[in-house]
């Protein structure tokens, strides 16, 4: 049986419609009610009611976009009510694909008739879908064979979702998130080593705008309770038919766009990515320019050269593999500088190999360029001050920097590494060797320690404590706090009051 949500600011209206449904035995399984739009949003996401009876006058100006997205995502039957018989209200109802518009006050008989019809239409539609599914003998489920073997699945319009976390070890968490997520059209999920593939059903009303909206919503909802950076590719196949294997091959190419955009992004594509072809090797003139910039120690010129040649803001992008070759060509000139200045041994030699691996394997172009610049600056410092060992311990400098800025939610390993003039990977290794903990562990420990103090010594709300300690989201703060202390922020505060 379908469920219904009655949303109206007037409690008497909500009670009256609920009473009418029960009195006439209209077969709704559950009757939910909401007096504010925030309650409406929570109910739609938590219970996904099949029918919504909604007062238009309660919708705030800044709430329309979210409401339209939820209506498009869950596709409920919408009935709108209003006390204003205006053209604007009628257009708002049309924008929500309303089944009917009631002008208050409306007769109980009319309300009964419309709600009964909405319920029956839903039951009829569900029955037809089930009969169609059992009668055809075809399941929309797809398999790994469809994904990887050409011609295994027949040519159709397959719309896909491809998701990658920066840390693939956390993909089981992401898979659970997708399995529990209230999609309007639930995709078949095929987890791979470094990617989770979602195949939307063939009859889904998919469009580029919907894919973009649902992608952004997925990203927002994931980040509300998780700190693992996510990258999403949404593939729109509405304009052509091909096998799932061909579609996946094109969609997976778009994952490489992450190389330029970074994580926490959504990319919508409808075809194979067209990369720009470039010469990956430095020209003789460029090689001479690099030798001169290094010999002169011109840091600003080196920086601007790299920024000009490697920061791409718009498509079409160069093929990532060619850019990696070009970066190794630059590193070859840096290697010549190291050898000529006797810097090809000890920690700098180790750092050279780390930078080389970063160029080959780092998924983000910006990080590669930053690490290369930091390494070059280290070489220039060593070349001009070879016997200078009077600097304070860089790890201690870093710890003091973290202690002074741990309340900033945007604090990252890369920022601290820049402060001490080391590459992030080299700094991370030093930190683990000298402190026995990672940057994230040290930062979280400081934040939780301060949060515990504020919970015990102040009357700040949990949300305020979270924000003051560098946590953007209170739910994620509570989760981390319990992991580290064994209790929740609220329980800790309640224990204090006893």
DSSP class of residue 297 equals: T
pTM of the model: 0.55
Gap between the Cα atoms of 23 and 4, Å rounded = 15
pLDDT, residue 203, reads 66
Residue 471 corresponds to which tokens in the numbers above? 């946590």
Tell me the pLDDT tens digit for each residue of 166-200: 888 888 899 999 988 888 788 889 888 789 999 98
pLDDT, residue 138, reads 38
Gap between the Cα atoms of 35 and 12, Å rounded = 11
Tell me the pLDDT tens digit for each residue of 104-122: 888 888 888 888 888 877 7
Nearest Cα neighbor of 327 from 229, 259, 429 is 259
Ranges in the chain, pLDDT < 50: 131-140, 387-392
Backbone angles phi, psi at 241, to 5 degrees: -115, 135
Gap between the Cα atoms of 33 and 4, Å rounded = 8
pLDDT, residue 154, reads 62
pLDDT, residue 153, reads 55
Look at phi and psi of residue 421 and say left if phi exceeds 0, alpha if psi is from -120 to 50, else beta.
left
H or E element that contains 383:
helix 365-384
Q: Going by DSSP bridges, is the β-strand pair 230-235/160-165 parallel, antiparallel, or unpaired?
A: antiparallel
The verdict on whether omega for the bond into residue 43 sits within 30 degrees of 0, i.e. cis, is no
pLDDT, residue 318, reads 92
pLDDT, residue 72, reads 83
pLDDT, residue 397, reads 82
CB neighbourhood size of 221 (10 A):
14
């Amino acid at each position: 049986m379908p469920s219904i949500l009655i949303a109206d600011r007037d409690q008497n209206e909500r009670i009256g419609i609920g009473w009418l449904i029960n009195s006439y035995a209209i077969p709704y399984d559950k009757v939910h009610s909401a007096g504010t739009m925030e309650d409406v949003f929570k109910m739609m996401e938590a219970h996904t009611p099949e029918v919504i009876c909604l007062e238009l006058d309660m919708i705030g100006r800044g709430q329309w976009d979210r409401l339209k997205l939820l209506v498009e995502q869950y596709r409920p039957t919408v009935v709108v009510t209003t006390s204003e018989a205006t053209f604007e209200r009628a257009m708002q109802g049309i924008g929500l694909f309303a089944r009917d518009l009631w002008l208050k006050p409306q007769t109980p008989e009319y309300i009964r008739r419309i709600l009964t019809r909405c319920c029956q239409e839903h039951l009829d539609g569900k029955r037809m879908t089930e009969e169609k599914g059992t009668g055809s003998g075809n399941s929309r489920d797809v398999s790994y064979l469809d994904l990887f073997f050409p011609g295994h699945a027949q040519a159709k319009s397959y719309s896909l979702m491809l998701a990658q976390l920066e840390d693939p070890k956390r993909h089981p968490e992401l898979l659970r998130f997708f399995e529990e997520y209230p999609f309007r059209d639930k995709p078949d999920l095929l987890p791979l080593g470094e990617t989770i593939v979602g195949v939307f059903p063939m009859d889904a009303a998919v469009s580029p705008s919907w894919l973009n909206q649902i992608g952004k919503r997925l990203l927002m909802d994931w980040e509300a309770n998780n700190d693992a950076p996510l990258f999403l590719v949404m593939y729109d196949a509405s304009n052509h038919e091909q096998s799932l294997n061909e579609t996946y091959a094109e969609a997976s190419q778009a994952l490489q766009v992450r190389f330029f955009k970074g994580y926490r992004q959504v990319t919508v594509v409808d075809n194979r990515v067209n990369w720009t072809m470039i010469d990956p090797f430095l020209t003789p003139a460029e090689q001479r320019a690099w030798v001169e910039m290094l010999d002169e120690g011109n840091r600003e010129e080196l920086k601007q050269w790299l920024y000009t040649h490697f920061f791409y803001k718009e498509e079409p992008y160069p093929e990532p593999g060619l850019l990696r070759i070009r970066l190794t060509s630059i590193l070859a000139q840096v290697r010549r500088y190291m050898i000529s200045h006797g810097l090809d041994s000890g920690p700098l030699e180790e750092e050279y190999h780390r930078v080389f691996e970063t160029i080959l394997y780092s998924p983000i172009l910006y990080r590669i360029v930053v690490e290369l610049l930091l390494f070059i600056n280290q070489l220039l410092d060593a070349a001009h001050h070879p016997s200078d060992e009077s600097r304070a311990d860089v790890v201690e400098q870093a710890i003091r920097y973290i202690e002074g800025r741990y309340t900033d939610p945007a604090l990252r390993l890369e920022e601290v590494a820049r402060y001490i003039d080391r590459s992030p990977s080299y700094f991370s290794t030093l930190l683990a060797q000298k402190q026995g903990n990672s940057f994230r562990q040290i930062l979280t420990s400081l934040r939780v320690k301060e949060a515990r103090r504020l919970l015990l010594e102040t009357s700040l709300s949990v949300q305020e404590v979270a924000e003051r300690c560098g946590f953007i989201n209170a739910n994620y703060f509570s989760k981390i706090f319990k992991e580290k202390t064994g209790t929740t922020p609220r329980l800790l505060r309640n224990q204090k009051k006893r």
